[in-house]
Amino acid sequence: MLLTIVSAVFVFGLLVLFHELGHFITAKMTGMRVDEFAIGFGPKLVGIKYGETSYSLRVFPLGGFNKIAGMDPEDEPDERSYSSKPVWARMIVILAGSVMNFILPILLFFGIYFFSGIHTPSVDPTLGEVMAHKPAAEAGLKQGDRILKIDDQAIDSWQQFVEIVQVSDGKVLKIDFKRDENQLATSLIPEYDDTAKRAMIGVVSSVTTYQPGFFEAGVLAVKNTGFVTYKMIETLGSIIMGKTAADLAGPLGVAQMAGEVAQIGFVPLLQFAAFLSINLGIINLFPIPALDGGHFITLLIEAVRGKPLQPKAIQYAQIIGFALLMALMIFATLNDITR
């Protein structure tokens, strides 16, 4: 439970920090006054004022905000308020949060590739991690063992090994394997996994590691971020068109996944944060009032009309958008609880 909480706070905090940092930096660059930069919601834990901006950490670290002068329609406008700046400046500030959500994965992937290397599953039938209290571990198999035969059938690849195991639920398998220079044998019974929908014995394949250089790691990080973004947009398109069923996860589900990934290691947690950041960047660009994409559409209409929309119209649109988001959040949370 503690690991899940810490992992969720780390992931949400990192994503929110970069998103709000995008709004903050561009607001400062375009001459807007930022009264407060906060990580979290609720009562203030600690705070410090530097220049004209207060920096604070709040009780609930699952969010954050920038208080930019003039963004609230009730604020008294001045020459440094958001509403007084040209449309192009406000567009930059609005889009900067999502842009930072695409920059963060590039930095995370770069750090993973450069410092940890690129790990590729091996095609050889050699065991990587052997999970405790699973059939393989209880049968005495260890990391580094090479599977030679199953029930006297020669095993030449990891894929062949997996294909035999996954259809052998409840069946006793005799396994011949090589450890160092010794050829040994054992027996085990695969267990059916309800989540994976197949029999498993609690092992993963060994991996080969490639260590890219500094510039290669940067290029690969950009390419991977672009590839993941493309696949996510493609999947969202399939969901919207009704070709793929939507499987929504709310904050509870994401927190649970963060805890599960953290149990594997810190690098997988960073990869999870990168995927989640891309997802957040895409979703936040949806043309829904209350999201950055909705604000951008409002600014686009203002640019075309030559004058801003009426404050009441913007307020009503944001209320509707917020209500839609809350309904979606409740639905996703109910899914989390059901799971």
Contacts (Cβ under 8 Å, ≥6 apart) of 208: 119, 120, 122
Closest CA to 165 of 136, 145, 124: 136
CB atoms within 10 A of CB 113: 23
What is the DSSP track for 151-199? TTEE--SHHHHHHHHTT-TT--EEEEEEETTEEEEEEE--EEETTTTEE
What is the Cα–Cα distance from 298 to 291, expressed in whole angstroms? 11
- Whether 20 is a known active-site residue: answer yes
Contact 317, 298 (CB under 8 A): yes
What is the Cα–Cα distance from 142 to 139, expressed in whole angstroms? 9
Query: What are the C-alpha distances in Å from 204 to residues 61, 126, 170?
Result: 35, 9, 20
329 strand-pairing partners: none
Q: Which of 20, 129, 181, 302 is catalytic?
A: 20
Query: Helices 266-284 and 251-264 meet at what angle, rounded to 10?
Result: 150
Residues forming the active site: 20
